[in-house]
Structure 1
Amino acid sequence: MPIPGPKSESGNASKADLKGSQVDLQKADLPSIYQALNTSPQGLSQAEAETRLQRYGPNSIQEKEQSALLKFLRFFWGPIPWMIEAAALLSALIGHWPDFAIIMALLLYNAVAGFWQEHKASNALAALKASMAPQAEVLRDGSFHTIDAADVVPGDIVRIKLGQVVPADVRFVDGKSISIDQAALTGESLPVSKKIGDIGYSSSIAKRGEMTAVTIGTGRNTFFGRTAKLVAGAGQGASHSQKAVTHIGDFLIVLCLVLALLLVGTQLYRDIVVAPSWHWSDIINILRTVLVLLIASIPVAMPSVITVTNALGALALSRKKAIVSRLESIEELAGVDILCSDKTGTLTKNQLSLHDPKLFVAKSPEQLILAAALASEKGSSDPIDQAIFAGLKDKKALNNYQLKEFTPFDPVIKRAQAQVVDDSGNSLFYCKGAPQAVMQLCKLSGDNEKKASDCVQELAARGLRSLGVASSNDGKRWSFLGILSLEDPPRDDSKQTISRAREHGLQVKMITGDDVAIGKEIAAQVGIGQNIYAAADVFTDSENMDHLSKQVVDCVERADGFGRVFPEHKYAIVKALQERGHQVAMTGDGVNDAPALKQADCGIAVSGATDAARAAAAIILTAPGLSTVVDAIDEARKIFERIINYVLFRVSMTLDIMVVVVFATILFGFSPLTPVMIVLVALLDDIPIMTIAYDNTLLPKEPVHWEMRDLLLGSTIIGIFSIAQTMGLLLIGMEWLQNSQWQSWIPLDKSQIQTIIFLQIVAGGHLLLFVVRSRSAFFAKPLPAMKLFIAIVGTQALTVLMCGFGWLVPAIPWRIIGLVWLYMILWMFILDLVKKLLYQRLQDI
């Protein structure tokens, strides 16, 4: 780590140290560190600390905020907003103020809804900043003072005690030992014991002991700060959902422009060439016709319906113990085909337990475990001590011994030791620690030494941690009692969940900070493949994590998992898989996971995750285990199916309205729908269909994606037959106007023909939704949800009443309404047959 130099004009730290030399503060000896930082074991003066604070900046993570106004204005930029804005402008130019008001209201609603959902999304950098240690004990002017952690500077001497958060990157300089939980940073599942000279990372937590340390890095120039920088640069920009809506908008804009040119060209040809009677006032009529076409071409409520459907889907996911922080992540989750899962607490119980003990001098497993318990600290939060006490069957046996002296685990000699007195008054000594250290203490040799070494190697190969245990009567001559093995066992449901995930087209990769051997052992138990690599062997220091070589990407795609993973490795794994076209979900719980969680298509913060992980994630789980993730994916696929059904319906209906308006105007010289009718169509079609979020759907067995080619092709084909349905009814209506016999039976005029088309568009549109929502016959199971059914039936009744009584539209006879309904029901069966043939054809491609 280069020494953090003074801030430049841009606010970034330079690489020059106080004396202008370069020193690796993570590896240099302590005298060199003191010299490079111009400090000493007596710490800094307050004046010097304030000077350094001005030069290096605060010990915090600062990010550049985009203004709320700019975020809001972004929702007025894009294909669909442009179409809505153009329609509003044209309405204002020709004085159609009611249309203008309705269109602007829909535009504002879309923008406000999108902005509000984005505003609610958590800010990952803010959470990272908030998780910094709020206070620190520093040595200033010869005595320790408690200050804000943000005021810690390079060269400060800090004191770190049990339960405190390490305020910056430090090197320990004094004290017996300290145990640091840095799992949230490095992914290691156990606290790490530190000795003089070792490094401590910012935001890790002291679990045992007390030491003083010299600060070598603050703010962004820390392990924690580099993670925050990765988070700031992570993310893919627009989601697949946003890209899909953009594609749909582009498709409709192009079609609208083509139809508008055809319509305007035809009108001008008639007015100038065929019957020369051109007047500038005719431009108003042309603009009015173009306005009708433009309004017809805009799926004004599509963003709103998708937002509401996702929001209601998020509520359903919450019942599955999955909280959605970004709505578009639901669609991302539905398309996930690779799930990168952390090990500890997700695949495993995150609770160490004793495995089969290996006996040497000890006569029974209970004797061995009791000896280890006597060499442990009662009430300790250390996971190893807790596992030993939990494995002791007769806990009352401890009452037979009185503790005289306890020496905590010393990272130098790698063992803990206790002196006790038994009921007979005999003084006894027990120790536990690293097997090699305990073997050396017992002076094992020959066959016993080989047996113990082979045992340790065998346990390590199986991914188990070893713990040597010994006893002594005088504290000088020690007997090697045996070896305890510890494991973090898999969750009871992990193997079944992974099997279920594979049945649903998901590939699961294990990503862990533990050793490869441990990863392989757990992978074997839960049914993940054994192709587990050490991350450092795959991602070398020369690798650019944003531009990985083909060999590395190939390896990541083939691998079943990675061990000894650091934050940049997790980030690179996600990037590599995305380069190959995979949609990736990444689970995590710590600060070290935040960059990968944000970069992933769907980051998932597991139960008990840190604030930073939850803020970077799109989905936050409130129940432990991988089964919750698979449940959430299943629910997301159902939600996605509902959205696809809506989009298929909406695009088909938009094509129907656009083409009918243009060709009716060209062929018959009048628009079959007025601007008000088109706005009413949008309201009556889309508002009740928001209840599609509750619809019953089949669960897709494979990941689902925005297949734009198939979606637009299917929408176009169904749209063409919908056009045939509407044009057929319009032709019958125009014939009706010319047929005196029909007119004498039920007289109609052109305005009533418009009402008939309005009825067919609204009611026929809802019947079309019933057709497209099912992949088989529209009357087959799953049947429509009751809420959707009631909403549509209610809208149908309202539309019939509007047409029968003349509310907002010219009234038509009830007998005509009945005939139109018979016509639509007949076409419903025709459209259903078209749909089934279409799906069959698409599956064969």
Structure 2
Amino acid sequence: MKQRTEYQSPPYLLSIHAVLASQKVDPEHGLPHEVVKQRQAQFGANSLKQDDTTSVLSLLLSQTKNPLLIILLIGSIISAYTGHWVDAIAIFLIVVINASITFFQEWRAEQTLAALSKMAAPKAVVLRDGKASNILAEDLVPGDIVKLKAGDIIPADLRLIENSQLQVDESALTGESEAVFKTTDEIPHEPVLAERFNMGFMSTHVTNGTGVGVVTATGMETEVGQIAHLISQAKLAKTPLQLRMESLSRILISVALLVVAAVIGIGLLNGMQTFDILTMGISLSVAAIPEGLPTVITIVLTLGSRKMAENNALTKRLASVETLGTVSVICSDKTGTLTKNKMKAMSLWAAGNYWSFADAEGDDAGAIVDSSNTPARITEEPDLRDMLEMSAYCNDAVLTDTASGSTVMGSPTEGALLIAAATAGIYKQDLEGHSFKTISHHPFNSTRKLMSIHAALPDGRECLVVKGAPDVILARSKFLRQDGKDIPLDEDASKEVEQVISGYGEQALRTLAVAYRKLDASGFDPEDPEQDLVLIGIHGIMDPPRREVTQALAEARGAGIRTIMITGDHAATATSIAERIGLKTSPTQTVHTGAELDRLSDQELQQVVKHAVVFARVTPKHKLRIVSALQENDEIAAMTGDGVNDAPALRKSDIGVAMGISGTAVAKASASLILLDDNYATIVKAVREGRRIYDNQRKFIRQELTANVAEVSAILFAFTLMGSDAMLPLTPLMILWVNLVSDGMPALSLGLEPADSNLMERPPRARSENIFGDGMQQRIVLRGLAIGFVSFAMFAIALNRGLSLPYAQTLAFSTLIFGQLWHIFDSRANWTLFSKYPFSNSVLLVAVVLSATLSLLAIYSPPGNYVLGTVPVALNHLFETFFIAALPTLALSGIKEVFKFRFL
């Protein structure tokens, strides 16, 4: 077993000297070659462990565990034993076809850990034996000294020991959209992952600056390795569809075994021949099992999956198509899902006046407007113009135009200022050399929390342009720009500025202040130049909500679906966004942090999630606990996400929803559904489609099982009413024909039924809801018994008329076929066939005509006669079967319409 690095305290709580001492490494020379070899043997490769994957052969063999297929396989073996070779081959082929379809439905390699490995840096610059070399990242060991620069992927977890303007994009790991400014200082208290500013984490990206770090964890001991471990522990939950199909299988098997056992017992008591008893047992087992049901369900789910893909929702697991229709709560990430994941200037305060952007939450900022929504005239607002010019000039980001629009290179926050200035026609490249000429540059760092540029103005004077944290700028300012003049920043003016800062904070806006200093002959202190500043304004910036999300949330609420925001961001920011989009609408909806969750037991969390609307500052383990608590409350939980940190919860949830544009490969590999447009509204459309599919599943399950009850009851009527002289009214191959062709095709067309108008006004279905609810079980039994009885009656009447056994069986066969074709128009209606327009589903009409035509060919063609054992019948007898077969459906539906019996 590989050993892990041990610390008395986590490395981010230790000083640089203490971390280096614990690793026994000299930062100027790195590890000696001999020590590296020892540690490679001790700690293993710096890579993520790959779990063994299921082989294709194992997956194929697992299909034989399907109990429905096992019963059919036994029937095939008995048919071969009794010499019914055509029956045996036909039943065996049905088993093979169903097993193959299920195999291809489930066959997909688990790519989550492989995707995690691909995220790891392939190379790293490391200092060993006093020399820097470029090595494979998997060869790193704890104690290695690693050098970082912009563009690098951090190859392992590092404690930073040198830092020069280092910024790291950790959004895939923490969920926060803004790049993190790094430091080398020890942290005095236990921070959450997103606030470990002196650490670099494996698989995150360096966006700016340079740094040096000492490796503190490799492979599965890294933060991303811990997530990989959580993913491997979070098993895929069975979908409601899979649970219902398992329950249905148990019911069908129990019924089949009971019926076959009863028939064998009665047959033995009546002295029937063993051969006849086995033949009847085969027929009953085939009749009791809906052979076409797995195929029909798979095809309908596939069609639903294609329709979802047309609406930008790509399903990876077919069963998830139906699961969407059962979702009762959506756990949504904030960044990139509810918001745009694009920092934008929402408003600004310039020299005492408030300004905003007409289309701040749209794709473009829009015109700058005042408090009365009047567009600003930049030429007539010198304070506003100067502030925007300084914001664009004192800026390290670059704004470039592409075919798809403006793109920011650099800090998203600084890019938001460039876009804001561009709305007023002010561009950084136009200012350089014209309005300002740079003399020196004082870059931003996490200690100073500001940046400044020493510039020469066109009139020969010099100035210092400053941008940074408002509290820092305010503390360094002596004047306030107002009406083109620099007035003293007295106590009243300072309070006004503080109110602006706090007001923006309450709106979850990140703030940046802009200031300047006119330089005289005395110049400035180069060690601390930003003194005696003139504050000109403050920007309010945020990652704005998606425009569609408010309506989508309202639709979800109307469908009885709760949405919970789960984010790594601050609670205040998350709460403000939740209120802005209409997610948090009452005081009873609670907001919680990861620190609170650490104090709650699992039982207490189950109570908390009933009212929670926001969970902020959470870790991957917290997300797993939240999803588990919801599932313990019998909720069907969907989890949306795009980062590595979301992957374990995506896998654990009933349906994981990954972002297709901004999502990491790990999130996509862990999810069941991928949103190709990263649009929360697409989830609502997918839920609607899932509900439609569930409704249609009930319709074709009702149709299929009614046919099975009719087939079983026809045989049982013959067996019980004809005594020891009982004869089969239907052969096994006739039953297979009904199940797969004459009934299977029309039943499949029920999957294309349009959605009911009130579909999104119903509450979500419970996980434990019986698919036979609302009287469907009684309707299946009663309609099936009625169709089975008239089919047996035609068989018995034909024998009483002295007609041959094949002729009588053909009449029973045609009666059963026509009975199912009449019944399908009743199955598609929630009440009766009289309550729904019969021609609204053109595919169904075509399927009914095609089914009837093929069945007539089975009766009147030599191949059909040979395979099924049918014989051509007189046309008057055929018309008799057509009208008699209509009686069960028309009579029972009529009684239901008149007397309002729900069970009919």
TM above 0.5, one fold?
yes
- Match for residue 165 of structure 1? 153
Q: 1:512 to 1:448 in 2, by over 3 A?
A: same
| Residue 298 of structure 2 corresponds to residue 241 of structure 1 | no
TM-score, length-scaled by structure 1: 0.91
Residue 778 of structure 2 contacts residue 903 of structure 2 at CA under 8 Å; is this kept in 1? no
| Residue 346 of structure 2 corresponds to residue 311 of structure 1 | no
Letter in 1 for 2:12: Q
Once the two structures are superposed, the pairs formed by residues 28-67 of structure 1 within 5 Å of their partners are 28-41=14-27, 42-65=29-52, 66-67=54-55
Q: CA deviation at 1:822?
A: 1.0
Once the two structures are superposed, the pairs formed by residues 40-439 of structure 1 within 5 Å of their partners are 40-41=26-27, 42-65=29-52, 66-120=54-108, 122-197=110-185, 198-271=198-271, 282-360=273-351, 364-379=383-398, 380-392=409-421, 393-396=424-427, 398=431, 399-439=434-474
| Residue 730 of structure 2 corresponds to residue 673 of structure 1 | yes
Residue 163 of structure 2 contacts residue 182 of structure 2 at CA under 8 Å; is this kept in 1? no
Q: CA deviation at 1:709?
A: 6.1
- The counterpart of 1:786, out of the listed 832, 836, 842, is 842
Task: Give the count of matched residue pairs.
Answer: 808
- The counterpart of 1:734, out of the listed 774, 796, 818, is 796
Q: CA RMSD in A?
A: 2.5
d(CA) in 2 for partners of 1:644, 1:177: 61
More divergent stretch after superposition (775-784 vs 805-814): 775-784
For structure 1, list consecutive stretches of 5 or more residues without a partner in the other structure. 1-7, 272-277
Equivalent position SS for 1:177: strand
| Residue 669 of structure 2 corresponds to residue 640 of structure 1 | no
| Residue 659 of structure 2 corresponds to residue 606 of structure 1 | yes
| Residue 683 of structure 2 corresponds to residue 683 of structure 1 | no
d(CA) in 1 for partners of 2:290, 2:129: 69
- Match for residue 592 of structure 1? 645
d(CA) in 1 for partners of 2:895, 2:888: 10
- The counterpart of 1:496, out of the listed 551, 556, 563, is 551
- Match for residue 508 of structure 2? 463
Residue 712 of structure 2 contacts residue 788 of structure 2 at CA under 8 Å; is this kept in 1? no
Q: CA deviation at 1:664?
A: 1.2
Q: What's the CA shift string for 1:427-450, capped at 9, x where partnerless?
A: 221121122222233367734443
Q: CA deviation at 1:120?
A: 3.0
Q: 1:763 to 1:818 in 2, by over 3 A?
A: same
Q: 1:334 to 1:840 in 2, by over 3 A?
A: farther
Q: 1:782 to 1:324 in 2, by over 3 A?
A: farther
d(CA) in 2 for partners of 1:135, 1:144: 13
Q: 1:349 to 1:840 in 2, by over 3 A?
A: farther
d(CA) in 1 for partners of 2:792, 2:437: 99
More divergent stretch after superposition (284-293 vs 779-788): 779-788
- Match for residue 770 of structure 2? 708
- Match for residue 5 of structure 1? none
d(CA) in 1 for partners of 2:96, 2:133: 54
Equivalent position SS for 1:120: coil
Equivalent position SS for 2:772: helix
Letter in 2 for 1:289: M
d(CA) in 2 for partners of 1:722, 1:83: 22
Residue 237 of structure 2 contacts residue 653 of structure 2 at CA under 8 Å; is this kept in 1? no
More divergent stretch after superposition (69-78 vs 587-596): 69-78
Residue 23 of structure 1 contacts residue 36 of structure 1 at CA under 8 Å; is this kept in 2? no
d(CA) in 1 for partners of 2:898, 2:627: 39
Q: 1:840 to 1:573 in 2, by over 3 A?
A: farther
Residue 790 of structure 2 contacts residue 885 of structure 2 at CA under 8 Å; is this kept in 1? no
Q: CA deviation at 1:223?
A: 1.2
Equivalent position SS for 1:160: strand
Q: CA deviation at 1:199?
A: 0.8
d(CA) in 1 for partners of 2:323, 2:899: 26
Q: 1:211 to 1:642 in 2, by over 3 A?
A: same
d(CA) in 2 for partners of 1:413, 1:842: 76
More divergent stretch after superposition (416-425 vs 616-625): 416-425
Q: CA deviation at 1:691?
A: 3.8
Q: CA deviation at 1:323?
A: 0.5
- Match for residue 453 of structure 1? 498
d(CA) in 2 for partners of 1:307, 1:839: 35
Equivalent position SS for 1:480: strand
Equivalent position SS for 1:439: helix
Q: CA deviation at 1:494?
A: 1.7
Q: CA deviation at 1:813?
A: 1.3
Q: 1:761 to 1:147 in 2, by over 3 A?
A: farther
Once the two structures are superposed, the pairs formed by residues 484-523 of structure 1 within 5 Å of their partners are 484-523=539-578
d(CA) in 1 for partners of 2:839, 2:466: 68
- Match for residue 570 of structure 1? 623
- Match for residue 717 of structure 2? 663
Q: CA deviation at 1:771?
A: 1.1
Q: CA deviation at 1:311?
A: 0.9
Equivalent position SS for 1:98: helix
Q: CA deviation at 1:121?
A: 5.8
Once the two structures are superposed, the pairs formed by residues 550-569 of structure 1 within 5 Å of their partners are 550-569=603-622
For structure 2, list consecutive stretches of 5 or more residues without a partner in the other structure. 186-197, 354-381, 399-408, 479-488, 520-528
Equivalent position SS for 1:220: helix
Q: 1:53 to 1:690 in 2, by over 3 A?
A: farther
Letter in 2 for 1:598: R
Q: What's the CA shift string for 1:119-151, capped at 9, x where partnerless?
A: 236532222222222322222332322222222
- Match for residue 800 of structure 1? 856
Residue 802 of structure 1 contacts residue 811 of structure 1 at CA under 8 Å; is this kept in 2? no
Q: What's the CA shift string for 1:298-348, capped at 9, x where partnerless?
A: 122221211111111111111111111110101111101111222222222
d(CA) in 2 for partners of 1:252, 1:339: 34
d(CA) in 2 for partners of 1:693, 1:613: 31
Q: CA deviation at 1:16?
A: 6.0
Residue 78 of structure 1 contacts residue 246 of structure 1 at CA under 8 Å; is this kept in 2? no
Q: What's the CA shift string for 1:630-671, capped at 9, x where partnerless?
A: 111111211222222111211222122123213312322111
TM-score, length-scaled by structure 2: 0.85
| Residue 764 of structure 2 corresponds to residue 718 of structure 1 | no
Residue 605 of structure 2 contacts residue 626 of structure 2 at CA under 8 Å; is this kept in 1? no
| Residue 829 of structure 2 corresponds to residue 774 of structure 1 | yes
Q: 1:753 to 1:407 in 2, by over 3 A?
A: farther
Q: CA deviation at 1:378?
A: 4.2
Q: CA deviation at 1:584?
A: 1.1
Letter in 2 for 1:675: P
